[in-house]
Amino acid sequence: MRIITRNATLDHDKVSGFYAAQPGGAPKPGVLFIHHANGLTSEIRENAERLARLGYGAFAVNMFHALGAKGEGLMGMGVELQKKHKDAEFLKAIADGWNYLVAQPGVDRKRTAAIGYCMGGRLAIPFAADNPQVRAIVLNYPSIRDEPPNEFKPRAGYDTVRELKCATLLICGGRDAVIPPAMQQRVMTGLIANGQPVEYHFYHDAGHGFFSMEGENHHADVAQRAWPITSDFLERYVADPATAQ
């Protein structure tokens, strides 16, 4: 299936990121990708293209560019940026990415979801909680630590999940030192409490960041197995017109 891709820039589009979709303006569901601490890396672009081939409009927003970072080789920059910038600034960048996505030809804002990785998964939670138009979220090893709210991160993810009004897919590993199994269970308790559809997939031998091909914890086998779970979840809760309200 032929797809088109393009890079959005701050100068031209008021937002930075990567868009992929099939050509034409036929109605289509949308997915916003929210990247990890290593930035908008190759596997996120590839996954956006994979969803485009399935009929989605997919946009991967570059939060680092929105906060003033330059270039593409931004491995690990998220750690430092989260010490300098408050969540509200990241959420503004995510909202700009969402607005860009739903403005693309054919993208159905009633059938649009978000996928987050690491810090992007953590930030997807308050974004979805505050924006009930988000149909579903996929949280890949969200960086939710056992720490109280603070000036930079005023809302704890393990509590904010209780505010969600959308379906959630949580995918984590048993060797994740950032969101270890005990915290995963705490997050799941909150997700169950919100009364929305929730699914949890646990890979005992995977560490934090197993999707990231540039990261030290890349686990190709788990990434390969987790992707069909993600696409199936999106098909059921986002792509199916019956889910739109």
pLDDT digits (tens, 9 = 90+) for 219-237: 899 999 999 999 999 999 9
* Mean pLDDT, residues 113-142: 98
pLDDT digits (tens, 9 = 90+) for 11-37: 999 999 999 999 988 899 999 999 999
Beta strands in 82-166 (DSSP E): 107-117, 136-140
What is the dihedral sign for C-alpha 171, 172, 178, 183?
A: positive
Among candidates 23, 44, 242, 66, which has minimal Cα distance to 138?
44
State yes or no: pLDDT of 241 exceeds 60.
Answer: yes
DSSP 113: E
The residue to which tokens 């987050």 are assigned: 116
d(Cα 30, Cα 104) in Å, to the nearest integer? 9
Alpha carbon 232 to chain centroid, angstroms: 16
CB 22 within 8 A of CB 107: no
State residue 240 phi and psi, 5-degree precision.
Answer: -65, 120
Give me the count of residues in the chain: 245
Q: Which amino acid is at 19?
A: Y
What is the percentage of the chain residues whose pLDDT exceeds 90? 87
CA max distance for the chain: 47
State yes or no: pLDDT of 218 exceeds 90.
Answer: no
Domains of the chain in sequence order: 4-243 (3.40.50.1820)
DSSP 243: G
pTM, rounded to two decimals: 0.96
d(Cα 38, Cα 35) in Å, to the nearest integer? 8
State residue 214 phi and psi, 5-degree precision.
Answer: -85, -10
CB 69 within 8 A of CB 76: no
Among candidates 56, 2, 73, which has minimal Cα distance to 235?
56
Residue 138 has what pLDDT?
Answer: 98
Residue 245 has what pLDDT?
Answer: 55
Q: Which residues contact 7 (CB under 8 A, 6 or more apart)?
A: 16, 17, 18, 19
d(Cα 199, Cα 135) in Å, to the nearest integer? 15
Q: Which residues contact 110 (CB under 8 A, 6 or more apart)?
A: 133, 135, 244, 245
State yes or no: pLDDT of 244 exceeds 70.
Answer: no
CB 140 within 8 A of CB 203: no
Mean pLDDT (the chain, rounded): 94
